[in-house]
Structure 1
Amino acid sequence: MISDFNMPKMDGLGFLKAVCANPSTKKAAFIILTSHGDRALVQKAAQLGANNVLSKPFTIEKMRASIEAVFGPLG
């Protein structure tokens, strides 16, 4: 899953917690997009189970690298 951190009703960390709490999605890979590049957010996301955090703005190359860091080379 790829989710933004800033969302109207639930932030990305709340969504990550919900995904990890659901038996059918708890093993899903999770990447958070954020315009907040602070270390505390990255650490909290990792503690909650995020596989990667990608800071905005990003290029398609950075997005690909972030996905490949989780899944391996994309062919």
Structure 2
Amino acid sequence: MSKAVRSGISLSGIDVAPDMIARAQKNLQKSGLNVAPSQADITALPFQNELFDIVMAGHVLEHLPQPSLALEEVVRVS
């Protein structure tokens, strides 16, 4: 993955939990990837419409009371 990032791919990451952001920052630092994860709610993403080519969400939807809200946001930003 780090080779892809060096060749011009830009990555963003979010999590709603501050402790997970801290863990991600630590792991990303070790990997050498230049990604600054930020705290955000997937049901109200702080990104403009159609910003991303790909959006991935792992282990998220099953924890949400209304997963359709998250899916709407994913569609909006991709």
Shorter chain as denominator, the TM-score bin is 0.3 to 0.5
Q: TM-score, normalised by structure 1?
A: 0.36
Q: TM-score, normalised by structure 2?
A: 0.35
Which of the two has higher C-alpha Rg? 2
